[in-house]
Amino acid sequence: MRKNPVATKAPAEQVVKDIRRAMRKLHSSEEKIRIVLSGLRGEDSIAELCRKEGIAQSLYYSWSKDFLEAGKKRLAGDTARQASTGEV
C-alpha cells in the first residue's frame, strides 16, 4: 500500500520556503538609491538593469516610487521626523 503523496509533500514544501526566505538579499538604502538613480539616468532599459542587479522589475518600480515620494515630501518642506535616542 502506497502512502499518500500529499502527506509527505508538505514538509518538503516548508523546507523549500525556508531556503528561499534565507536566500533573499537585503539591499541597503544606498544600494537602492544607486539602482534607482541608474534607472532614472536611462542608460540601460529597466529590464536590463533589473537583470544585472538580480531584482524583479516590480521591486525596482516600488523603490522608485518610494524614492520620488520621499523627494517630493522633502521639497515640500515636510522634514519633521522623530529624533532617535542617539540624537537626543
Task: Name the maximum alpha-carbon separation found in the chain.
Answer: 72
Query: pLDDT above 70 covers what percent of the chain?
Result: 77
**DSSP state letters, 53-77:** HT--HHHHHHHHHHHHHHHHHHHTT
Asked if residue 87 has pLDDT above 60, the reply is no
Asked if residue 12 has pLDDT above 90, the reply is no
Query: pLDDT at position 26, please?
Result: 86
Global pTM value: 0.62
What is the rounded end-to-end Cα distance, in angstroms, of the chain? Answer: 70
Query: pLDDT at position 46, please?
Result: 96
Query: pLDDT at position 83, please?
Result: 59
Q: Tens of pLDDT along 40-64?
A: 999 999 999 999 999 999 999 999 9
CA 85 to chain centre: 27
Residue found under cell 518610494: 66
